[in-house]
Structure 1
Amino acid sequence: MQYIYLHGFASSPNSAKARDIGDRFFKIQTKLKIPDLNAGDFSQLTITRQIAQVAAEFSNDSTPVTLIGSSLGGLTAAHLGQQYLQVERLVLLAPAFGFLSHWLPKLGYEEVQRWQHEKYIMVYHYGEERSIPLSYDFVIDAAQYQEKFLQLSIPTLILHGKKDEVIPIEASRDFARCRSWVELVELDSDHALGDVMENIWQVIRLFCQLP
């Protein structure tokens, strides 16, 4: 089994969650790939680019893959599972289902219109600790990745905080409700899930049958 971790939007392989899970895999002597989904050019980020980048990490010998994705990385992982039969298991941490419908209203109608007109908007990048311009192509591309297309019965574990202020837990509840192959674990935490990482690890170990 190949294990790959997908970090979230405006994040990096050096995020607290990525480091925490990476350390835990290291301790059980199991390899975990954590690609940098910024690919050196956050400004031109799209979900399509992320999917292509992660798929390129898959081994050529049809080794099965478990994807662990956080937030937008979780959404990307879910769509990778839809497109590539090598993906046999998904672990989604606060997956960004309905990402645009949650994010764009917070920006406001006028700001989104300005973004569309000017082609770029400044977005604070937590990995870089600075604001970076992001192309409006991100929005155009993301609009095609809707949950209604995710219908393959891939064993899926979702861990989501009940106090999530970025992606409301209702998004994961709605997703799991009509998909019998999805297990949703609700946690008493926020979007970062930083205070429940030990709980998360125990559930992941069980689900993935890790040592």
Structure 2
Amino acid sequence: MQYIYLHGFASSPKSAKAQAMSDRFQTIPIQLNIPDLNAGNFSQLTITRQINQVAAFINNSAPVTLIGSSLGGLVSAHLAKQYEQVQRLILLAPAFGFLSHWLPKLGDEAMKRWQQDKYLMVYHYGEARSLPLSYDFVTDAQQYQEDILQRPVPTLILHGRQDEVIPITASRNFADSRPWVKLIELESDHALGNVTDKIWQAIRLFCQLP
């Protein structure tokens, strides 16, 4: 079984959550692969590019467990729909309905400028600076709707009740109509920084790790 961690939007493999998971996998020890989904060019980021990047990384001969954080969770879910190698999903505050939650916060004027100028400056937490993001990100993301995610892959979702980025109702709605999905609600926000131990214990149990 391969284990692959997909970081979130405007994040990196060096994020606190990614490193915390990596450290815990090393204690077992099992290698946790953490590809850089920025691919050296955040400005041209799309969900399609991320899916293709991870698909090329998957070893056809081995089953895969994907651990996806935020937008990485959304990408993981769509990878599981397309690739039989994905045998398990662990989604940390997955970004279901990402555009519907994020774009309204930008406001109508910012959206119009983004369409006109083709690029929007977005703060990148991994780089600790603002970087331009192409409007192609939005047009590409519009095709990735949750209703098409119907492959019954064993799925564990961990989501904070105080999530200020992706409301927990997004995960509740996803889990309600899919009996193969288990949702664990945590007293935390989007970063899930205060519940790392609880997340790890849930992952160990779900994956039957030593």
* Range into which the TM-score falls when normalised by the shorter chain: over 0.9
Q: Report the equivalent of 1:37.
A: 37
- Taking the aligned partners of 2:55 and 2:4, their CA distance within structure 1 comes to 10
Q: Report the equivalent of 2:108.
A: 109
Native 8 Å contact 2:67 2:92 kept in 1: yes
Q: Report the equivalent of 2:28.
A: 28
Q: Deviations over 1:68-124 (max 9, x none)?
A: 000000000000000000000000000000000000000001111110111000000
Answering whether residue 179 of structure 2 is matched by residue 180 of structure 1, we say yes
Q: Report the equivalent of 2:141.
A: 142
Q: Report the equivalent of 1:98.
A: 97
- Residue 42 of structure 2 aligns with an amino acid whose one-letter code is F
- Residue 41 of structure 1 aligns with an amino acid whose one-letter code is N
Q: Deviations over 1:27-77 (max 9, x none)?
A: 11101100000000000000000001111111132x100000000000000
- Residue 118 of structure 1 aligns with an amino acid whose one-letter code is D
Q: Report the equivalent of 1:74.
A: 73
- Taking the aligned partners of 1:176 and 1:194, their CA distance within structure 2 comes to 23
Q: Percent identity?
A: 73
Q: Report the equivalent of 1:56.
A: 56
- Residue 64 of structure 1 aligns with an amino acid whose one-letter code is P
- Residue 200 of structure 1 aligns with an amino acid whose one-letter code is I
Q: Report the equivalent of 1:208.
A: 207
Aligned residues: 210
| SS of structure 2 residue aligned to 1:206 | helix
- Taking the aligned partners of 1:154 and 1:42, their CA distance within structure 2 comes to 30
- Taking the aligned partners of 2:60 and 2:84, their CA distance within structure 1 comes to 13
| SS of structure 2 residue aligned to 1:56 | helix
TM-score after normalising by structure 2: 0.99
4+ runs deviating over 2 angstroms: none
- Residue 117 of structure 2 aligns with an amino acid whose one-letter code is E
Q: Report the equivalent of 1:170.
A: 169
TM-score after normalising by structure 1: 0.99
Gaps of 5+ in 2: none
- Taking the aligned partners of 1:110 and 1:173, their CA distance within structure 2 comes to 32
Q: Report the equivalent of 2:7.
A: 7
Gaps of 5+ in 1: none
